[in-house]
A = this chain, B = another copy of it.
Amino acid sequence: MAKVATRYLETHPTKLIEKGFHPDRNMVSESLFALANEYCGVRAFFEEGSSLPSLIGTYYNGIIEKALEDTPNAYKGIVKRGHFTINSINFLKVRIEIDGEVLDLGKSKIQDFERILDMDDGLLVRRFTWLVGDNGVEITFRRLLSMTRPEVAYQSISFIAKKAAHLNISFELDGTILHWGNHCYWDRGSEFTKDNRAYVYETTPTTNQSLLSLMEIQSSWQPKSSETEEKRAIIHYSGDLEAGKAVEFERFVSNIAGKKRLSEEQSLAKAKPALEKACRDGFAQLLLENSNFFAESYQKSLIEIDGDPADQQGIRFCLFHLIQTYHGLEEDNNIGAKGLTGEAYSGHAFWDSETYCLPYYLFSDKKIAKNLLLFRYHTLEQAKARAKDLDCVGACYPIATRNGEEACALWQHASTQIQPTSAVGYAIQHYMTLYEDDAFMRDYGFEMLLEISKFLYSRGQWNQHHTAFGYYGVMGPDEFQVMVNHNTYTNLMGKKIIEYTLGLIDDSKYRNESLLCKAGYNDELIRDMRTACGAMRILYDEKTKLFEQHDGFYDLPHIDVDAIPPEEFPLYSHWSYDRIYRNDMIKQPDVLMFLFLYNQDFSDEIIRANYEFYEPRCIHESSLSPSIHSILAEQIGKEDEALSFFGFATRLDLDDYNRNTCEGLHMTSIAAAWMNIVYGFLGLRSERTILKINPRLPSRWNSYRVTLHYREATLSVEVRKDQLILHSDKPVQLYVGNELLHLDGEKTFLR
């Protein structure tokens, strides 16, 4: 299906720039210009509010509530009440009135509108001239979330009027915000104002959490009055703007989110010193810290593209939002499918975190990658409870979660998709391959793998005549095949992860009798697991080199996916639900997915055969699908296809290809765009001990450079039309194509 770009921002290598106001793109802009610092995220809504369509969204990582009602027909194993990240206190809210007119960009007359997000420091600036009567008032908004002081946010609003005018401005903390536009999930705590300070404190009704937003307004003006209402605190200023003279208001905010509820006093004890330090240090210092933070992050892992400014801007946009959303701040954070930029997908993390996001972090910072894995360690108990709920043992990781519990109420996904669990196993293996972090394995990894593998074994079943083992009644990565048996992805990943675990058990470096005992492993279980792995049914035909996606896939009615009229997409909206599931059409890579994950286990011939069989059957109705296809197409020399699948990867949101950027950014697709370049064009392969690259230059670029944090080194690869320039600041080994290279410093190859 043809996707169409809607490009309304300027092209710039490191900035997002909106010149002239685009009211019809208001909600898209709210997502694109969103700020986050992992701890907190705010959409780029107008602080003064407006009558335009808008999602006033403020979210905290890990602050969640539960559904108000039970799922109907919640049989055993079906989620009874899901949880989700909730919209929280709007700490940026203002009301601006000049000469009796209230500012509302949906109605007010403005000119020279400009909005700029600098991706080198995360400062968001918006300015325009407001035409009030015959006056013109230039207003500039600045907004920043501190990357180094997670609880600190900053806002400034400055006014320069052509002629004298009267200004009323109110700064509010608004805790009445509705989630999904229909319910405020916060219980009232308390409100307070005094002079230029105010706070609102609230608690969650069922999850025992809290939030306190404390603000201080700084200005040459004095507050006129202040007030509190239920869940709201407001400070009013009123005065005259002199012609041509700037008046500025700065708001420093300290937000204390209690994932485990903090009392009002406890919250204040944290909020006050943070606020006071921020006020003392001032905006310039906060901005400098942000600038240093981003510079350091980009230094470790960066992609720079020459020859296609749109791609360059696109990939920087991806990196910026990846860093904003997650950089390993807390061990119990994760990456929501929409980051902290909207309510769609409920703030849930999926197996995308391990499969699509982890690689970027692996090559960015060992600590961050480890942190992402620790989320799964800290939610091991929930995963064990979930396995029990499914009448299995060990640990079953959820398909969608924020707190470690399964949150997806659709049984056909939550009860039958095994890949989140095998993905955690794969992620541990991937991390260990790159970092050989024995301490991690001993402290966390081994225990997780024991429970993961126990689940993978217990969910599997022997066939009728006990000749083959595998998974019955599953949905593989491809969500268009429901309740199938012997999905090859699921079987193969199960076998791989269990065998990896059994290998560790045999390895004296990791073997830990007390953990084995705790996880209920004994010789009999180990023998049974080994037997099952040996008998795992892998539907492979040596003659055709094809893996059958699941038992019976080849017999399914055929659909020519190219013949489906474009207006029938997305199929979930236009096709009867059951009809989607009874053809050989697939939604996203399934066989191709394990050919990517364990790439070097398979010959190019196998990859070519399966690519050519499955790609024509795939409709890519997941934003994660094209990148995997692009990577494999590149590998087998289908460069045009690779480039075509890469197509809009870096600009999926920037150009709103999916028509839903208004709801929030596609964070995991953003990570997939990084993978597409690094595993695709650069040809990186990282699942074996020695890294491999096989760089190619997409025809539409002049050159590109990829910087990777690899073990202790910073490795950079510059791919030019005629040269390949490698550099490492420490000695590293890697394959370039099939040639093993010992790199220390720079090395140039002619192409």
Q: Which residues of A contact B (CB under 8 A)?
A: 71-73, 75-78, 389-392, 409-412, 415-416, 461-464, 472-473, 482-485, 551-552, 554-558, 572-579, 581-584
Contact = CB atoms under 8 A, between A and B. Distances in A.
A576 B458 CA distance: 13
A576 B391 CA distance: 6
Contact of A75 (B472, B558, B577): B577
A460 to B, nearest CB: 9
Contacts of A389: 576
Tell me the interface secondary structure of chain A in the complex.
loop
Contacts of A576: 76-77, 389-392, 415
A531 to B, nearest CB: 15
Contact of A473 (B71, B464, B581): B581
A666 B80 CA distance: 29
A463 B72 contact: no
Contact of A77 (B410, B551, B558, B579): B579
Contact of A572 (B75, B557, B583): B75
5 contacts: A73-B409, A75-B577, A461-B557, A463-B555, A552-B552
A409 B72 contact: yes
B578 A77 contact: yes
A572 B78 CA distance: 11
Contacts of A472: 556-557, 582-583
B76 A575 contact: yes
A558 B462 CA distance: 8
A555 B464 contact: yes
Nearest to A556: B464
Nearest to A460: B557
Contact of A483 (B77, B78, B482, B551): B482
A226 to B, nearest CB: 41
A459 to B, nearest CB: 9
Given A391-B575, A416-B578, A485-B552, 20 more contacts: A72-B409, A73-B410, A76-B572, A76-B574, A77-B578, A390-B578, A390-B579, A392-B576, A411-B578, A412-B412, A461-B583, A463-B555, A463-B556, A464-B555, A473-B482, A473-B582, A482-B483, A483-B484, A485-B582, A551-B555
Most B CB contacts (10 A, CB to CB) among A71, A554, A577 go to A577
Nearest to A473: B582
A405 to B, nearest CB: 16
Contacts of A558: 464
A557 B462 contact: yes
